[in-house]
Amino acid sequence: MATEAPATGGTRRDRTRRVTLADVARAAGVSASTASLAVNGAGPVAPATRERVLSAARSLGYSGPNPLARSLRRGRCGVVAVVLGERLAYAFSDPMMVGMLDGLADEVGTAGSSLLLVPLSGPTGAAERLAALPMDAAVVDDCDAATVDLIPALHARGVVVVGVDGPQGSGIPVVDLDDEAATTALFAHLADLGHTRFGVITLPLALDTVGGPLVPADPATRERLAKGAGVQRRRTLAAEEAAARHGVSVRFVEAARNLVDEGERAAATLLDGPLPESPLPGCPRPAGDARPTAIIAQSDVLALGCLRAAGTRGLRVPEDLSVAGFDGVDLHLFDGTTLTTIEQPASEKGRTAARLVAAALSGQQPDDVRLTTRLRVGTTTGPAPGR
Amino acid sequence: MATEAPATGGTRRDRTRRVTLADVARAAGVSASTASLAVNGAGPVAPATRERVLSAARSLGYSGPNPLARSLRRGRCGVVAVVLGERLAYAFSDPMMVGMLDGLADEVGTAGSSLLLVPLSGPTGAAERLAALPMDAAVVDDCDAATVDLIPALHARGVVVVGVDGPQGSGIPVVDLDDEAATTALFAHLADLGHTRFGVITLPLALDTVGGPLVPADPATRERLAKGAGVQRRRTLAAEEAAARHGVSVRFVEAARNLVDEGERAAATLLDGPLPESPLPGCPRPAGDARPTAIIAQSDVLALGCLRAAGTRGLRVPEDLSVAGFDGVDLHLFDGTTLTTIEQPASEKGRTAARLVAAALSGQQPDDVRLTTRLRVGTTTGPAPGR
DNA sequence: CGATTCGATCGAATCGTTTCGACCGCAGTC
DNA sequence: GACTGCGGTCGAAACGATTCGATCGAATCG
C-alpha cells in the first residue's frame, strides 16, 4: 500500500493521522478532485472510476469528508443556532418553548440542518461563545435589549438571524403572535362576564428579576418594559389599554420566573391584597374590595400556579375567582378542569422561523410573520361573583 | 484605504466578501501570523503592534476569526452533539431527559462548548446527518442497537463518544444508574407492605412500539429487550428477578411512549384485567384476583398516568392500589400527594457525561460511572388491601 | 567586546475539502 | 475532413485561519 504520507515531520496533534480524501485518491490512482466527485456522487465520473474510489475509501476506512473542511469551503455548515436567554432547565420547563423548538428542529431537520443550543446564561461571556461557534443561522427567542446587541456581530459574519416573538424593527425577520388582540379578547371575555377588578400576572421582565407588584405607568417600570422582551411588553401594555377601554381596574404582578411556583407566589400577592410582601403569619388579610375577581396570567404555567393559590385559599374557581392563561398547553389538570386560555401555535412558530431561516439563507429578505391565536373558553372562567 | 482585495475574479459565493484576518493584517501593516497572535491575545506581541492590529480590525469591521477555519486548523470546534432517539417534543416531555440535558449543557458550557441536538427521527438518514456535522464529541442517550452501529463511524472521524444509560460494553465510557438495585428496592418496599400481585409498566422497548402486555420469558420479547435500550432491559429483568425472589406474581405492560396518557392506557390494561383491549362500554370488569394491588411504573410520567387511571376507576391510592414511579421528578400533584419513587440524579448524570467527554478529549480513557439512586417513600404506596 | 538570550515579527506549511477552468480524446455532424 | 460538443479527468486556487521554525535586532552577561 503506497498510502504512507511523506514524513514531513509537520504538525501532529494526535497520535494517528486520520485518513483523508487525498489518501483515498492516491490509493485509487486518481486526483483529489475526481475522488471528491466520486465520493459526493456529483459530477460526471466514469462508473469504473467511481467504483475504484469507493472501494479504496472503504478499504482505507475513510469516514467521509471532514465536515469542517467541507463547510469552510462551501460556506455552509448545516447548523442553526438557537439563542436562549435562560439555562436549559428553565427554557425546557416552558411548554411553549418546547413546542417551538420541536417545530423548529423538525423543519430545520427537513432542510438537512441541526440545532445548536446556545444558552446565554453560561459562565463565560455569551458574545464570545456565540462568535466562536460554527453556524449558518441563528434563531433568537424573545430576546431582550442586551441580546439584540449581539445581532450586528452575527450579521457581520454572514450569519442569518431570525427572531421569535421579537425583536421587531431590528432589521431581522421576526415571527410573532397577535399578542395585543389575544389580550384584548381575554379582557373582553371576562368583562362580558361582569368582572370589574382584574389582576394580571406578567411574565418576568428580565432574566434576573425578583418579581413583585408592577405599575406600568411608572417610568421605571416603563423603562424595564422597554428593555425586556417583546412578549411581556405587548401583553402588558395591551392589558392596560383593554382595562381602560372596559373601564375596569387592573393590578399587575410580575412573576420572577415562568414557573408554577412563581405563578402561585404572584397570585398570592394579588389575592392577599396590596400590603407588605411578607404578611404576618396567621394573620389573614381582609382583602375585601381590593381582591380581583379575575386573574389573567401571561402563561398557562403561571395560571396553574394561580389555580393552586386559589385552592390553598379556599377560593372556588370559577365561582369566586376566574383564572385565564395564555398558551393553550395541555397541562394535565386531573379533575376535569380546563383552563380558559389563548391557544397559540407553538410548533408552527418554530416551523415558521425555520422557513424564514431557509428563505434568508437562499438570499431572500423575508417579511415578518404574525401568527394568529384563538381564545379557548374553559371551565376556569365564569360570571363575576354576585352576578 | 488600501484594503481592496486584488480583483482576482475568483470564487465569489456572496455579493460581498467578508473581511478576513489577512485584510486586517494588510491594513495594519503586519503579517497574518502577527495579526493572529494579536487578535488572539496569545504570544508575544509588542503593545503598539497589538493596538494597531486591533484598531485596524475595528475600523474594518472584522468580526473575529472564522470559526470554521479556526476549527479546521485546531482540530476542535467546541461542539458536543447530543444524539436523541426521538423527536424533540418527546425527549423534552421527559423531565429526566431535560434534567440530564441541563446538567450536560451547564458543564459542557463551562468547558467552553455548546450542545448540538441531533434527533435521529428526522426524514433523512440519521447516519448521514451525524457524519456531516461538525463536533468534537457525541453523547448518545440510552441508545438502541441501531444507534450503537453509528459509533464506529464517529470514532473513525476522531469524535469522542460517551453513553448515557448505555450501551455498556460497546467500547465507550458510559454513565448510568444502579437500575437493578433501585428496582429491587421498590419490590422490597412493596413486598414488605404485603403486596403479592404486582404490575409493572415498562418504558417503550423501541421507538416505534405500540405497547401492550409483555412476557419477558417469551423469546420474542427477550429479543426485543435485547435490541432495545439498556434502561428498559435492566429494570424489567430486575423486576422479574425480584418478583421471583419475593415469591410474588407480576404482570408487565409496555407503554407505547413515555407520556402520561400512555401510562394511563398501560395502567388500564393492568387494572381492567387480561381481556381484550376494548372492553364493552358500561360493562366494568370483575377483575377479582387478577388485578394487581401494586403497580410500579418505570418512570414518574407513567406513574402519573397510572394515578389518573386509578382515579377514573374509583380506586383509592394507596388504600386500594399502591403506585410507585421511577425518577424522582417534581410533577406538581395538586392535592398533596407525593409519589413513591426512585430518586435519580438527572442533572448529575449530564454533568458526569460532560466530564467523561472532557476527559476523553484530553486523551484519557475514562472508566464507566455508575450513579446511585435512592428510594423515596411518598403517599402513593401503602399496605396491601385487607392487611 | 563577543557570545548568548530573548522578544518581536515574518514566511511558509498545514488543516481537508470543493470547484473552476483547462485539457484531451471520442463521437456525431455537416 | 474539420468542427463542435461532451464526458471524464486533472491541476491549482481558494476557504481563513493557526503555528512551527527562522530571522533579526537589542539587551544582557561574562
Please state which architecture CATH assigns to domain B77-176+348-371: 3-Layer(aba) Sandwich (3.40)
Q: Is 80 exceeded by the pLDDT of residue B333? A: no
Kindly indicate the confidence band of residue B280, based on its pLDDT and cuts at 50, 70 and 90: very low
Instruction: State whether CATH 1.10.260.40 applies to domain B1-63.
Output: yes
CATH placement of domain A177-344: 3.40.50.2300
pLDDT of residue B123: 62
Average pLDDT over residues B226-231: 82
Q: Is 60 exceeded by the pLDDT of residue A3? A: no
Of B66, B116, B131, the CB nearest to A79: B116
**Closest listed residue to residue B122, CA positions, set B133, B113, B111, B112:** B133
Distance B70 CA to D23 C1' (A): 27
CATH placement of domain A21-65: 1.10.260.40
pLDDT of residue B52: 93
Average pLDDT over residues B178-194: 96
Kindly indicate the confidence band of residue A94, based on its pLDDT and cuts at 50, 70 and 90: confident
pLDDT of residue B4: 35
The cell numbers describing B149, all together, are 452501529
- In chain B, pLDDT over 70 holds for what percent of residues? 89
Average pLDDT over residues A262-270: 95
Q: Is 80 exceeded by the pLDDT of residue B6? A: no
Q: Do domains B1-63 and B177-344 have the same CATH topology?
A: no
Q: Is 70 exceeded by the pLDDT of residue B127? A: yes
In chain A, which among 71-90 make CB contacts under 8 A with chain B?
71-72, 75, 77-79, 87-89
B332 touches strand D (CB under 7 A): no
Name the superfamily (CATH) of residues A79-176+348-371. Answer: Response regulator (3.40.50.2300)
pLDDT in tens, A140-167: 987 777 788 889 999 999 999 999 997 8
DSSP annotation string for A316-375: -TTTT-EEE-SB------TTS---BEEE--HHHHHHHHHHHHHHHHTT--PPPEEE--EE
**Among the ranges given (A44-58, A280-294, B172-186), the one the predictor scored with the smallest mean pLDDT:** A280-294
Q: What is the average pLDDT value for chain A, to the nearest integer?
A: 87
Q: What is the average pLDDT value for chain B, to the nearest integer?
A: 87
Q: Please identify which residue in the block is written with the cell numbers 466514469.
A: A46
pLDDT of residue A164: 94
Domain boundaries, chain A: 21-65, 79-176+348-371, 177-344
Question: B119: cis peptide before it, omega within 30°?
Answer: no
For B147, counting Cβ atoms within 10 Å of its Cβ (0-12 exposed, 13-18 middle, 19+ buried), the class is buried
Is B46 in CB contact (< 8 Å) with chain A? Answer: no
Q: Is 80 exceeded by the pLDDT of residue A11? A: no
Average pLDDT over residues A113-125: 82
Q: Residue A285 in contact with residue A272, Cβ under 8 Å?
A: yes
Q: Could you tell me the CA-to-CA distances from B203 to B208, B209, B231, B257 in Å, in that order?
A: 12, 10, 9, 7
A48 touches strand D (CB under 7 A): yes
Q: Is 60 exceeded by the pLDDT of residue B274? A: no
Alpha carbon distance B168, B175 (integer Å)? 9
Average pLDDT over residues B18-40: 93
Among B88, B104, B113, B308, most A C-beta atoms within 10 A, so best to mutate, is B88
pLDDT of residue A44: 86
Average pLDDT over residues A195-210: 92
Q: Could you tell me the CA-to-CA distances from B320 to B294, B305, B315, B377 in Å, in that order?
A: 9, 16, 6, 17
Q: Which residue is nearest to nucleotide C12 (CA to C1')?
A: B33
pLDDT of residue A9: 33
Q: Is 60 exceeded by the pLDDT of residue A261? A: yes
pLDDT of residue A227: 83
pLDDT of residue B279: 43
- In chain B, pLDDT over 90 holds for what percent of residues? 64
pLDDT in tens, A98-109: 999 999 999 999
